[in-house]
Amino acid sequence: MTPALEATGLGKRYRGGWALRDLSLAVPEGRVVALVGPNGAGKSTLLHLAVGLLDPTHGTVRAFGEPVRQAGVAFMAQDKPLYDGFTVAEMLRFGRTLNPGWDDDLARNRLAELEIPLRRKVGRLSGGQQTQVALTLAVAKRPRLLVLDEPLADLDPLARQDVLRALMSTVAESGMTVVFSSHVVADLKDTCDWLVVLNRGRLQVSGDIDELVAGHRVLRGPVEAADAIADRLPVIAHERTDRQATLLVRSAQPVPDPRWHEHRVDLEQMVLAYLRDPGSSALPRPALAALGKDDRPWSG
């Protein structure tokens, strides 16, 4: 199946240096993707490349096998830009004028449900309402891929919940693929099923969340046995006291050594562990293969 979003050897250099390097990933269709990373990790750059607002310095990015500008991608930028002087109705007309696949009923019904008055100027709406209008503009285009850059930032907890719930019900109805970025992992835990972690402009993790959780385990055991584990399995994080070691390892199989107690890993804990250790990565085979093919001349 053609991936909803596919990047190959993607790199972006600004005047100040590389914002994104050597990134290859493939996200299957129908997923809700959480793009996580600290501030300055390159999340916005990746999303801008994914919607065609930026041209890459290296590599390619495609949606559904097509160049992103022709692929029916909708985007909501971080500051949720709207024309402040327009009324909500005029913003809808903007969407209708610029998008042949525009679903006006969907847009109107959605705003009516949210009780956002069509005649009000956008600049006079609350922050939550503006986000909802921006989101309505994005979903009423009926995109196959919806890309949202920090959609929940600047919202109070109540508005956060509302926006997230409204978004998820729309997604469930349409089956569209969604990518959204956040630097707050907790926001995404219950809504997403695919995780992408970016750190310092490089891809660290890309995979199905259930598989990632199943593929990592927290081990607690005697400190003198820790090195033996580290020799056999990739250790993402470790904590040692005088007697006890706690390790986060990537392994699908349980460790047979009875001295080690296993715990299920928590998603947030796992993400933080990866972010603290930019050297480690958990990437699915296709992404690694693509990387090797294009950018690693020594590999073959």
Partner 1 sequence: MVWLTLRQHRMQLLAMLVLLLGAGALLLFSGLEAQGYAAAHAPPGCPGQQDVCGEVNAGLADRYDAVYLFVGMLPLAAPVLVGAFWGAPLLAREYEQGTNKLAWTQAASLRRWLTVKLALLATAVTVSGLVMSAMVSAWLPGFREAKGDTSFANAGVFSMVGVSPAVWWLFAFLFGAASGTVVRRVLPAMAVAVLGVVTVTFVLFNLRDTYAEPVRLVTTHYETALDRGAMMKELTWLSPSGVESALPPFDVCSMPNTQRGAIEQETCLFEKGYQRVFYHHPTSRFWRFQWTEAGILLAGALPLGGLTVIRTLRRRN
- Binding interface with partner 1 (CB under 8 A): 14-15, 48, 51-55, 69, 72-75, 77, 79, 81-84, 86, 90, 93-95, 97-101, 134, 137, 141
Q: Cβ closer to partner 1: 69 or 232?
A: 69
Count of CB atoms situated within 10 Å of the CB of 94? 15
What is d(CA 300, CA 293) in angstroms, rounded to the nearest whole number? Answer: 8
For partner 1, the closer of residues 137 and 236 by Cβ is 137
> Shortest distance, CB of residue 249 to partner 1, whole angstroms?
40
DSSP for residue 123: G
Pairing of the two strands 216-222 and 244-250: antiparallel
Number of Cβ within a 10 Å radius of residue 210: 11
Q: How far is the CB of 52 from partner 1 (least distance, A)?
A: 7
Q: Which is nearer to partner 1, 104 or 239 (CB)?
A: 104
Give 70 or 161: the residue with its C-beta nearer to partner 1. Answer: 70
Sign of the CA dihedral with 71 first, then 89, 79, and 148 last: negative
| Two structure tokens written together for 81 | 């830009």
Q: Output phi, psi for 138, to 5 deg.
A: -75, -45
Residue 216 host element (H or E): strand 216-222
Q: How far is the CB of 25 from partner 1 (least distance, A)?
A: 21
Cβ 54 to partner 1, closest distance in Å? 5
Q: How far is the CB of 31 from partner 1 (least distance, A)?
A: 20
- Cβ-based nearer residue to partner 1, 101 or 297: 101
